[in-house]
Structure 1
Amino acid sequence: MSRDDAAPPDRRNRPDPTALDPLAHARNLSKVFDAVLAGDELAQAAPRPIISESWRRSLAAHVDPENRTPPVVFAPDELREVRAAHPLSAVMPLLRSTLVSIADEAMHVMLVTDAEGRLLWREGAARLLVNADRVGLFPGTKWSEDAIGTNAMGTTLAVDAPVQIHSAEHLVRTYHTWTCVAAPVHDPDTGTILGAIDISGPLHTVHPALVQLVSATAQLAENQLRVQLAIADERLRMRNMAHLTSLRGEPGALVTPSGRIVAGAPYGWWPERINVDDGADRIVLPNGQEMMVESLAEGYLVRPARSPSSGTGVRSLPALSLRFMGEGTPTVLLNGRSIPLTLRPAEILTALALHPDGLTAERLAFLLYGDDGNQTTVRGEIRRLRGLIGSEVLRTRPYRLEATVDSDFCAVRRAVAAGRVESALRACGGSLLPRSDAPEIRRLRDELVAGLRQAVLDSGSVESLHVYAGHPLGAEDLEVFDRLVELLPANDPRRPAVVSRRALLLAE
């Protein structure tokens, strides 16, 4: 394979003229394959440099060209959990709408791997799936170069660039009747490879446009991940700015789980990223200053480390975060520390957050229980809640929260009132405390649901309507799907799924 190294640079990616006839090209590649593996130094042709280098890596990993099948690394019952946890699961609807229909018509399969080359998803022509099963091309197998030699998925991960592997360019002879094209997908946050997208099929189905198609689809997937990252950043800022405000001018930053700064004070004082190890409660910045790390629901708050004698004379209010919208367990963070909570304390905190000036026991009893409210019951509930969050946070006479309160329900309420529909959708995880029958909670829940729905419909925005249609509050809303079908262009890739969902709602 030494002649590859002497090849002129412009030969590295120059297509072979015989590639216009894939069968003839495959025969020529087979001759090159046999000659190179036989050690024929007089062979008149050599594989492309990218193939030669891949063969060298694969042979160094002891891949046997004559007798090899990909190792199975995930059992079928493990795949659902692995897929759900992988970042590319978020773009699978896009990949299906973009590639699967093309793959099915062209007798190809679409394959998606993780960064280690482990095959997680496979979809495409049903007839071809049978053939794919016979050669180990099914989810749960590993397709890195060191596992199964030169192949589009493994090689694109190795070189971090789109590649096409045709016929006998595969190192393992079993795959010489296949052609495949793959491209890597990168994490827009860190730039690391998340996995590979691949189109594979019989060698006679090769098409010169496949490389461009797969590469463009990988870029679309990265763009969608970038949009989702921006939404997550905005959610982190919107839900947790109260933590920065509570520092009263001291340096502080909101940090993503990957260590990226999304909000910091003072401006320009913070680096773009910091390294926050899992479980760490302190870090040292590049300027040598030690900082405290407090966990938030969506990331971290980083603030100055304080010694017992470092008081400034001004008491900072505790930062209280309330996440009560959606079907999950109510979540409370106090200065970044998670507080376990049941429904009744969550109802009390909601009422107090809505009435920052405080409530008497009588008024709080009415808001929670209606005309049957009992002040004695409320006082007992308050005592238990003070035991959870502290008497310095939950004050009495009247009952009130002495903290910087950040809640998802108030964020949605403010955003709807200001006409910021996208912000309201980002902040809203679902209905407010859906299991609660407290009158005050029911009133606010109905207000938020009706207000958000009307704001989405009045916006006339296709994007907002589409987000709401996939939201727990909008998934069953026929009027929303009617409006989407009316507004979505005929060639919009989202339209088939919307039309299908609308038909199901009409049939119910």
Structure 2
Amino acid sequence: MALSPMDVTQLAAVDTARAARVLNDVRNATLSGQRAPVAPRPVIEQSWGRMLRSGVDPDHDFRSGLLSREEVQRRRESSTLRHVLPVLREGLLSVADVAHHIMVVADEDGRVLWREGSSPVLRKADGLGFELGADWREDVVGTNGVGTPAVVRRPVQVFAAEHFVRTHATWTCAGAPITDPRDGRLIGVVDVSGPLETMHPATLAWVDTVAKLAEARLRELHLTSLEQLRAVAAPVLARLAGRALVVDRDGWCAAVTGMPYVSRIALPKSLTGGRRWLPPLGLCAVEPLAGGWLLRPADEPVPSGGTRIVLDLSQPRRWSMTVTGTAGTWSHELSPRHAELLYLLALHRGGRSAAELAEDMFGDAGRTVTVRAEMSRVRRYLGGLLEHRPYRFCEEADVEVLLPENPHDLLPHSTAPGVAQGRTA
């Protein structure tokens, strides 16, 4: 009787060796184009497809150059991950050491920056090239618990022969992405790994929970920094007449006077002082403050004219939108969810209702509350360029979408039915 992928996962909890043999047969059959005895789990099957398209050799263990100790230290000191290391260590290390696992923390580029846990397992990891400074991106070393969660933007457990590269089939790992709550940007992946026999079905949920605790810690730190900026802003705003607001370097609002409160303003990456056009405020006088910016909207209207919007989805993990109009050019880095929504709206220039977008995103037309909440966030930086009832780009905007060279690489994290259709178009 054939086993479903879920049965294989359950089998591994009681008979690791048999589960490994089943998965090895599945892998060999799938990669040779034959009918597999069991269908691979979708997240693994999709990853294998990316590996075959990108040319990763499943029979050779390719290792790129390690970063120097100096470069590892430089990345540690500049990474936001350093703020959550105590949370990760407290939540993972004590159990990992007893269970013969190691904890690995990699940055957004897939480079291993921290590695701690069981000493014997650390030595075994060395034999796999799982070392400090190593590059564990999926398109370098194949399907794995660091690179694959970074691509799909959700927790993934990779067991035995689910690893694309054959030499990794004696290993098991469970990784979860860590994102910056300020902008949704991927900042790294935390992974718990060990030899095949250490696999446990609850490991993935455990790692994901600790990753979410790390993100909660980052939110606490951000709120603290906004409070500090608010204290700096109070005397400045008290002396001003008219409209003004103070935002941090990421555009989150700390204080406002003379105008309705907005939670966040989209700022260009290289903002400087002077007169700048900022959506949705228009022309503003921009002045630096300690830890942020003072923004004073101008009274004169923004000149009207044509607008060009370029939605760049060509890169596997970085998506952005660039707007060019008569008032200048600005760019905004997109979260995975907003990249999906804007792609769907670019695909349907006539517009989509909340129910239609819910169907496109989740396959469930009833999830309109989630769609409306996300579209409200999108409108905070797109302003009048995005209309609603139905949701659509404004008619005056010329919208261009830059897609990956291979359609299968379109938003690889996405499980949205509307995006999946785009991959096969």
> One fold, TM greater than 0.5?
yes
Question: 1:336 aligns to what?
Answer: none
Question: 2:245 aligns to what?
Answer: 253
CA distance in structure 1 between the partners assigned to 2:61 and 2:142 by the alignment: 9
Deviation at 1:15, TM superposition (A): 5.3
Q: Name the one with the larger strand percent.
A: 2
Map Cα deviations across residues 401-442 of structure 1 (whole Å, 9 max, x no partner).
xxxxxxxxxxxxxxxxxxxxxxxxxxxxxxxxxxxxxxxxxx
CA distance in structure 2 between the partners assigned to 1:236 and 1:217 by the alignment: 29
Question: 1:406 aligns to what?
Answer: none
Listed as ranges, the matches of 1:121-136 within 5 Å are 121-136=114-129
CA distance in structure 1 between the partners assigned to 2:234 and 2:123 by the alignment: 54
Q: Of the candidates 68, 72, 89, which is equivalent to residue 75 of structure 1?
A: 68
| SS of match in other structure, 2:183 | coil
CA distance in structure 2 between the partners assigned to 1:16 and 1:101 by the alignment: 25
Structure 2 residue 54 is matched with structure 1 residue 64: no
8 Å CA contact 2:66, 2:132 repeated in 1: no
Q: Name the one with the larger helix percent.
A: 1
Structure 2 residue 177 is matched with structure 1 residue 184: yes
Map Cα deviations across residues 141-161 of structure 1 (whole Å, 9 max, x no partner).
111111111001111111111
Structure 1 residues without counterparts, runs of 5 or longer? 1-10, 308-508
Question: 2:23 aligns to what?
Answer: 29
Deviation at 1:99, TM superposition (A): 0.8
8 Å CA contact 2:243, 2:296 repeated in 1: yes
Amino acid at match of 2:122: L
CA distance in structure 1 between the partners assigned to 2:215 and 2:261 by the alignment: 30
Structure 2 residue 267 is matched with structure 1 residue 275: yes
| SS of match in other structure, 1:242 | helix
Q: Which structure has the greater CA radius of gyration?
A: 1
Structure 2 residues without counterparts, runs of 5 or longer? 301-425
* Root mean square deviation, CA, Å: 2.0
Map Cα deviations across residues 328-387 of structure 1 (whole Å, 9 max, x no partner).
xxxxxxxxxxxxxxxxxxxxxxxxxxxxxxxxxxxxxxxxxxxxxxxxxxxxxxxxxxxx
Question: 1:148 aligns to what?
Answer: 141
Amino acid at match of 2:29: A
Question: 2:189 aligns to what?
Answer: 196
Amino acid at match of 2:251: G
Deviation at 1:19, TM superposition (A): 2.0
Deviation at 1:269, TM superposition (A): 5.7
Deviation at 1:64, TM superposition (A): 0.7
Map Cα deviations across residues 287-320 of structure 1 (whole Å, 9 max, x no partner).
563111112221111124599xxxxxxxxxxxxx
Q: Structure 1 residues 43, 276: CA separation in 2 closer, same or farther (over 3 Å shift)?
A: closer
Listed as ranges, the matches of 1:207-222 within 5 Å are 207-222=200-215
Listed as ranges, the matches of 1:39-438 within 5 Å are 39-40=33-34, 42-72=35-65, 74-247=67-240, 249-268=241-260, 270=262, 272-281=264-273, 282-286=275-279, 289-304=282-297
CA distance in structure 1 between the partners assigned to 2:8 and 2:40 by the alignment: 11
Q: Which range moved further: 160-169 or 58-67?
A: 58-67
Map Cα deviations across residues 132-173 of structure 1 (whole Å, 9 max, x no partner).
111110121111111111001111111111111000000001
8 Å CA contact 1:73, 1:142 repeated in 2: yes
| SS of match in other structure, 1:63 | coil
Deviation at 1:68, TM superposition (A): 2.3
8 Å CA contact 1:259, 1:276 repeated in 2: no
Q: Structure 1 residues 47, 259: CA separation in 2 closer, same or farther (over 3 Å shift)?
A: same
TM-score scaled by structure 2? 0.66
CA distance in structure 2 between the partners assigned to 1:238 and 1:96 by the alignment: 33
8 Å CA contact 2:248, 2:292 repeated in 1: yes
Deviation at 1:74, TM superposition (A): 2.0
Map Cα deviations across residues 464-494 of structure 1 (whole Å, 9 max, x no partner).
xxxxxxxxxxxxxxxxxxxxxxxxxxxxxxx
Q: Structure 1 residues 277, 192: CA separation in 2 closer, same or farther (over 3 Å shift)?
A: closer
CA distance in structure 2 between the partners assigned to 1:166 and 1:146 by the alignment: 18
8 Å CA contact 2:59, 2:167 repeated in 1: yes
CA distance in structure 2 between the partners assigned to 1:156 and 1:304 by the alignment: 41
8 Å CA contact 1:69, 1:135 repeated in 2: no
Amino acid at match of 2:248: T
TM-score scaled by structure 1? 0.55
